[in-house]
Amino acid sequence: MSDLSLETYKFIAIWVEAIFWGMYTVLFGICMYVLLSARKRCTTGTVNKPFLATAMVLYFLSTIHFLNDFARGYIGFLEYGDKGGPKKYYEEISVWHYLFREAIYMTIKQVIAADALLVYRLYIVWGRKKRFTAAPLVLLTATAVFGYLTVWGFSRVEPGQNDHAASIYHWAVGLFSLSLVTNVVVTGLIGKFPTGNYLAVELHSQYI
């Protein structure tokens, strides 16, 4: 596998992403059914609007991400034959479509899915007490800042440099370190909630 070229990796990645996007489309349909079904509304009294909005935004952004990668693959493999080939095309990481791709990824992975939804879950579990989400929100904000700084760093890459340039590397390390700390802190706070008492059951039935 170590002998595979960059263009081979990218070609395989497009097909793998297409497969996972198809699976995600099916799961999205199931998710919409669960959130909008009459049985769910009868149980909770209302539709969980934050979860519904998050699921819809995530699917929209994931679809845009897939279409962008598909378009990049089309250009790289079919239109770059006389311009250096797909390898040269994929080595250009300061172009707008690559920056757009990374910005969408940061929005999905850090701002909406991985961290923000986890903080919202903490907020609900602890009875909407804002003091428990103060520190995680600060960490979430810092994570988002480092994430978009990383994307901005790609736009500043000089010809001949790759995504391991010094500034990008440091911002990326900060990004994933803060994301890890956020997940540990939030998971720890959720784990400390007394789930065996009546309040936990009541909150679960109302909000989750």
Please report, for the chain, the start and end positions of each structural domain, with discontinuous segments joined by +.
1-92, 110-207
Tokens standing for 135?
A: 């520190």
- Whose structure tokens read 């803060």? 178
Residue with the larger pLDDT of the pair 129 and 110:
129
Which run of H or of E encompasses 82? none
pLDDT digits (tens, 9 = 90+) for 142-159: 988 988 888 888 888 776
Of 37-41, 63-67, 97-101, the range with the highest mean pLDDT is: 63-67
Q: Calculate mean pLDDT across residues 158-162.
A: 65
Q: Model-level pTM? A: 0.77
Burial of 82 (0-12, 13-18, 19+ CB in 10 A): exposed
The residues near 163 (Cβ < 8 Å, ≥ 6 apart) are 93, 154, 157
Which run of H or of E encompasses 94? none
Contact yes or no for 183/137 (Cβ under 8 A): no
Short-list 94, 82, 104, CA closest to 17:
104
CA torsion 31-36-42-43 (nearest 10°) is: 30
Contact yes or no for 77/7 (Cβ under 8 A): yes
Q: Flag whether pLDDT at 197 surpasses 50.
A: no
- Taking the C-alpha atoms of residue 163 and residue 150, their distance in angstroms, rounded to an integer, is 10
pLDDT digits (tens, 9 = 90+) for 83-97: 778 888 888 888 888
pLDDT digits (tens, 9 = 90+) for 5-29: 878 888 999 999 999 999 999 999 9
